[in-house]
Structure 1
Amino acid sequence: MSLYRNIVWFVKGMREYTSRSGFENASKGFVEKDLDVSMVGRSFMITGANSGIGKATAMAIAKKGGTVHIVCRNKERAEKAREEIISTSGNTEVYVHVLDLSEARKVWEFAEVFKKEHSSLNVLINNAGCMVSQREMNSDGLEKNFATNTLGVYILTKCLIPLLEKSRDPRVITVSSGGMLVQKLNADDLQTERAQFDATMVYAQNKRQQVVMTEVWAKANPKINFSVMHPGWADTPAVATAMPQFHQMMRDRLRSAEQGADTVIWLAVSRATTAFPSGLFFQDRQSVSAHLPLAWTHSSRLEVKVFMGRLETLAMAVKSSE
Structure 2
Amino acid sequence: MSILINRNSRVMTQGMTGKTGQFHTRMCRDYANGKACFVAGVNPRKPGENFEGIPVYASVKEAKQQTGANVSVLYVPPAFAAAAIDEAVEAELDLVICITEGIPVRDMIRTRYKMQNKKTRLIGPNCPGIITPDEIKIGIMPGYIHKKGRIGVVSRSGTLTYEAVAQLMELGLGQSTCIGIGGDPVNGLKHLDVMKLFNDDDETDAVLMVGEIGGTDEEDCAHWVRDHMRKPVVGFIAGVTAPPGKRMGHAGAIISGGKGTAQEKIEVMESCGIRVTHNPAEMGKLLKSVL
Give me the TM-score of the superposition, normalised by structure 2: 0.39
Q: Larger relative contact order (C-alpha < 8 A, sep ≥ 6)?
A: 1
Give me the TM-score of the superposition, normalised by structure 1: 0.36
- Report which of the two has the higher share of helix: 1
- Report which of the two has the higher share of strand: 2
